[in-house]
Structure 1
Amino acid sequence: MKRKQSLLQKLRDEKGELLVPERKIAYDTLVMALGSTSNDFNTPGVKENCIFLDNPHQARRFHQEMLNLFLKYSANLGANGKVNIAIVGGGATGVELSAELHNAVKQLHSYGYKGLTNEALNVTLVEAGERILPALPPRISAAAHSELTKLGVRVLTQTMVTSADEGGLHTKDGEYIEADLMVWAAGIKAPDFLKDIGGLETNRINQLVVEPTLQTTRDPDIYAIGDCASCPRPEGGFVPPRAQAAHQMATCAMNNILAQMNGKPLKNYQYKDHGSLVSLSNFSTVGSLMGNLTRGSMMIEGRIARFVYISLYRMHQIALHGYFKTGLMMLVGSINRVIRPRLKLH
């Protein structure tokens, strides 16, 4: 068998110094599992004025800018007496972050930021579609919308952002949303370098187009899974970019690679929706379960939904680390909740 080669680019540190030179890796089968990044849709001013949450570095930047903003306004709030934060994108990231900001204010208040209260925080969640959480059932969207409204979040649906500047967001309707801090979480795309990689077929958001077997359309020895893959569904449409889909795809790709190596027929991947959960920080959790036990979709919320949410997280940890190490991590986490502050100020 003639082995193929994958070319890896140079690796540099934050200062630009070379760590690893350009190199080639030989392969018989290649799996592309590159995830996704935020899609700003080439909206003017977004890259310069909004924060993305694609990686730990960006998350730390948001954390620090948020703390700096609260510190700046804690003693002397802005002209309108508010700390204004705008979040673009009503998906799970935008919804969960909107709720978490109110929890952060609650924690900061206990640290001595006495000028900060939920009344002083003005969070605006902007969604271009008809409802937030558009990928989930309407009743889940409605429940999340209701909970956010109770927290004081201003939820704007059917509102398209046309540009951003230092002071806020411009919308298609002519409204200007003032914001001291802006987060862009509206849509995803696969990494830009996939556009012209190895002559493989990609779609308009850089995803690798794959067959139902998860093999790329132009090279059967290259598989793509997760957010970077555009996989058709038998009933029409494409597999949604969700964590459970990536998990299922990984299992299917593994089985198909083994079958391919042994000269056996490959199986088509079929997405199975087991439901979704959205955590609204410490305030609430909403979601739906789908499967044989529920005979369709069953909405859950409150403590039950919170328990299921945490259980799914623990199952993910077990898959990565095993039962023993996960048990130790749970024990350490319980101790840290007692001895460590709930919110890091650095």
Structure 2
Amino acid sequence: MPDITVPQSKPKIAISACLMGAEVRYNGGHKESRLCSRVLSEHFDFVAVCPEVAIGLGTPREPIRLVGDPQQPQAVGTVDRALDVTQPLADYGTRMAAELGDICGYILMQKSPSCGMERVKVYQDKGRPAEHSGRGIYAQAFCAKHPNLPVEEDGRLNDPVLRENFLTRVFAYSAWQELLKQGLTRRGLMEFHSRYKYLLMAHSPVHYKSLGHLLGSMGKGDPALIGPQYFSELMSALKICATRGTHTNVLQHLSGYFKQTISADDRQEMQQLIGQYRHGIIPLVVPLTLLKHHLRQHPDPYVAQQVYLQPHPENLSLRNAI
């Protein structure tokens, strides 16, 4: 099996408290996500946050909504416009960004005027929504302090491709934090990149090349200077969803390591499954399982270290649906 470094403890993910079943919504209810509360909670330590309750709004309470300029909206009461909680929400976002420095991801409540990541309605005069949507006040302030943090909305996690992408980024973020704890060295940075090469190739061939050039130009330079730029570009790359085409390219590269060691029939079977995957007939897990089988039979240290083979726990079954 791949020799992939696994964090010593569960990665921490912050989450809107209502998604964990807490009855903190304006109407006294919740919006429990069973994916989060029952499935993902086995693999992550969730930190539940409700900014509206945290700044002193009661439960139940008058709902708030965004109004004004979509670029800089205000969060006010839907009945009492004098209830303006814009600054308290923004301040709380900045405060929590400092307090939650050890999280590796954030799952936000969609369309919320406080927590919505995008597509939050911003109302104009006479109650009509603006043409352009906004972001929740708290979410905007928090994310501004953590631009590389994997962030996703609960509704989008129902899409298997977006779910797999988000959790891939969470584990990559966690692995980078572990590397920083050990102290960033030139060797450590090069080894980290070596492990992530094929995952990068699957998500963004352009970043795969540019990050290779970045490290190639490092020479004897200080890794502490290049490290932040490297990590920022890595997370930008992983945010791009891998496609059947890019996955196929990586599968072809990895299968090439076994062309001298497996039989002609095995090579043909491998190519057949890669072709079926490319055409949408079978999920990614099928050719990957065969690839891992050949890796066990014919160990290759370079291939075995590739995070691409197992970027997240196998029992999450994330690649069974893509």
Q: TM-score, normalised by structure 2?
A: 0.25
Counting strand residues as a fraction of each chain, which structure ranks higher? 1
| TM-score calculated relative to the size of structure 1 | 0.24
Which is helix-richer, 1 or 2? 2
